[in-house]
């Protein structure tokens, strides 16, 4: 896969710095789209099970990232269990943006301002490559799920439903 050269988002800069192969895919974001992830899958012509959304939740008071296919939802109980917590709830959107350095709909699990505990849904390992936000609405990065796990220091668990 081709690497994007120079500049880019914090996510692509992190990928370049790590020497990980990746491909950037862009599309025209529609502000009226009902779902950022669904829009990405449709615009790129990729099965929704290969496109993953990055969600920030709070597990026992600690911000935690869950990365799940856009075709489903984050199971908050499963996320909490995966990190040894008791209770999880979606994080305040402003807290998610502040912590990650990205805007909602463009939060990437890569290159976040503050590295958070990350859990990747185990279904990602079923694919040779997956798509995650590259840090901007309308911009996705395709990479091997093993590289995503390594770079984010993610746990893998069944956290999608």
The sign one gets for the Cα dihedral 91, 147, 132, 15 is: positive
Structure tokens, 111:
């290159």
pLDDT for the residue numbered 3: 42
Q: Which CATH superfamily is domain 10-157 in?
A: YbaK/aminoacyl-tRNA synthetase-associated domain (3.90.960.10)
Domain ranges for the chain, please list them.
10-157
Instruction: Give the C-alpha separation, 30 to 127, whole Å.
Output: 27
pLDDT beyond 50 at 2: no
Confidence of residue 7 (pLDDT cuts 50, 70, 90): low
pLDDT for the residue numbered 83: 96
* pLDDT tens-digit series, residues 79-129: 999 999 999 999 999 999 999 999 988 899 999 998 899 999 999 999 999
Nearest in space to 143 (alpha carbons), one of 5, 21, 16, 17: 21
C-alpha torsion angle, residues 130, 135, 136, 139 (rounded to 10):
-30
């Amino acid at each position: 896969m081709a690497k994007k050269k120079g500049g880019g988002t914090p996510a692509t800069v992190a990928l370049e710095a790590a020497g990980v192969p990746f491909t950037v895919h862009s599309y025209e974001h529609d502000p009226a789209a009902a779902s950022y992830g669904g829009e990405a899958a449709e615009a790129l012509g990729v099965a929704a099970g290969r496109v993953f959304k990055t969600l920030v939740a709070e597990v026992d008071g600690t911000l935690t990232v869950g990365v799940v296919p856009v075709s489903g939802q984050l199971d908050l109980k499963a996320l909490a269990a995966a990190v040894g917590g008791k209770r999880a709830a979606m994080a305040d959107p402003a807290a998610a943006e502040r912590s990650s350095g990205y805007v909602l709909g463009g939060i990437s699990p890569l290159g976040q301002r503050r590295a958070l505990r990350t859990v990747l849904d185990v279904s990602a390992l079923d694919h040779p490559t997956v798509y995650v936000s590259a840090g901007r609405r309308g911009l996705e990065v395709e990479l091997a799920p093993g590289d995503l796990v390594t770079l984010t220091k993610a746990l893998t668990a069944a956290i999608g439903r």
